Structure formats: C-alpha cells, structure tokens
Amino acid sequence: MTDDLDQRMHFAIDLARRAGELGLNYFRDLENLTIESKGHQDLVSDADREVELFVRAAITAAYPDDGIVGEEHAPATGKTSYVWVIDPIDGTANFVRGIPAWCVVIACARDGETIVGVVHEASTGETFHGRLGGGAFVNGRPIGASGAKALSEGSVGTGLSNRAATEHVAVLISMIMAEGGVFFRNASGALMLAYAAAGRLLGYVEEHMNAWDCLAGMLLVEEAGGTVLKPDPKTVLSEGAQVIAGGKQVFPKLRALCSEAFRN
C-alpha cells in the first residue's frame, strides 16, 4: 500500500508541475485570455478550463478506473475507492490580474480520506507535497507547521467564501487582532494552507471551502505536524467543509475564535 501511495504522490507531483507550466503559458499571455464571471468575486478563464482538461486527461490515462472531481468540469465517477480532486488554478482572481499568487492543486482521496496532496506554485517553482503517513515537503525538503504558542507570534491566513456571511470574517479578523495577531490573505486558500504547513503562517481558517481547494493543503498541515478540523469523509467531496488548520499549540485558540465568529 505504501508503494502505491508513493507512486500516486510522485505522479501527482510531476503532473502538477507540468500543469503549472501550461498555466504559466497562459499567465504570460493575459491580454489574449478570455475571462468570465461565475458570481461575485468568482472568475474563470480559458486557462482554468484547459489546465483542468490537461490534468484530467493525464489522470485518466494513468488511473482509468479512478474518479475525478474538479472545479471547472463535471465529476467523473470511477470504479475504485479512489477519487482525484483537482483545482487547475486556485487563485484565478490573482491569475487574471497578473498577480503571481496562484497554484495547481491535486489531491487523491480514498473512501473520502485524503491520501496524497500536492500544491504547486508555478511562479516560484515551489511544490508542496505529501502523502498519508509520509510527512510533508517542499521541493523535497521536510517542512513543519508552526510551533508558536500564541497568535501574537505570527500571521493567520484568512479566507472568504461565497457560501458564508462576509461579516463573520470581519468579526474573526477583529478577534485575531485583539489577540495581538495579524491576518494574511493572498486570495489562494490552497496556497495559504501550504504556507501553514510550512510554518510560514500560524494557520489558516475559512468558514467554507470546496474540496478541491482544501483537501491537499489540509493533508499537508497534518503531515507537517499541525492540526486540522477533520471534515466528514462522507460529504466533503460534494459539500466541502469548514477549514481550521494550524500549529498544534495555536489550533485550540483558532478553533475557539472561529466557533464564536462563525456562530457554530
């Protein structure tokens, strides 16, 4: 089983890097990119669709019996317990405006549990990757979640969701600042989760995230020695989840603040 997980992880790393190169081709030619709105602050471009088709084709060729769930195209039902969960470009709002904070996200889940996670930031060449029980890495170097004991020791990544009340985030940010902390947002939830896994951020919180945005990063945080609010494996692929992730010592405070701010 370990060999299979390693094979899937290395496949996902290579695929994310190749998909990132394709994304960079579009990123360098933004004036010719077609961009559409899917809703408030929710954009999609030709690059999103084409990169996802590229990733899907590669997965289908390598693992034809597995399922696929992605942001831009309909789910593909598989014959195995494995499902690949992909976001071709997380941070599209950045991407289409020429801001290099975007990433390719590839996760693989088995019976709803994430077993492989890759977040590739093409503009920096950093590939965050890990598999269940195997640790977390960036470009092959081990990473670790923050060991901070208080929110005053760093920054907390925060996200916005169209499926949650905006005022909840404002309340949460006020609470973080009252603890002496600082909030950080770069408009790519997957990338901020990867930064939390690497200890660059104390943690990351968002009231609702879709599976393709959060599963890879949440696995990375756990494998990096951090703590996450466990999603329901029966519903996470179809309904998403609330995300609270961070270093073990600050996680209880993050969860308490989110509970109050999100009114759960």
Which residue's structure tokens are 């904070």? 101
- 33: nearest Cα among 94, 79, 96: 96
Q: Per the structure block, which two tokens stand in for 150?
A: 């208080």
Which three-class secondary structure state does DSSP give residue 64?
coil
- 145: nearest Cα among 8, 244, 79: 244
β pairing state of 241-246 and 203-209: antiparallel
* Contact criterion met (CB below 8 Å) for 101 and 212: no
- 257: nearest Cα among 184, 169, 186, 197: 169
Helix ranges (H only) for the chain are 2-27, 46-62, 92-95, 166-178, 189-197, 211-223, 236-239, 251-261
Distance CA 112, CA 215 (A): 10
Predicted confidence at residue 206, as pLDDT, reads 96
136 phi, psi to nearest 5 deg: -130, 150
Predicted confidence at residue 2, as pLDDT, reads 75
Predicted confidence at residue 1, as pLDDT, reads 65
Predicted confidence at residue 198, as pLDDT, reads 98
For the chain of 264 residues, list the mean pLDDT of each consecutive stretch of 10. 89 98 92 68 71 96 96 87 96 92 97 96 97 97 98 95 78 95 95 98 96 97 98 92 97 96 80
Predicted confidence at residue 40, as pLDDT, reads 47
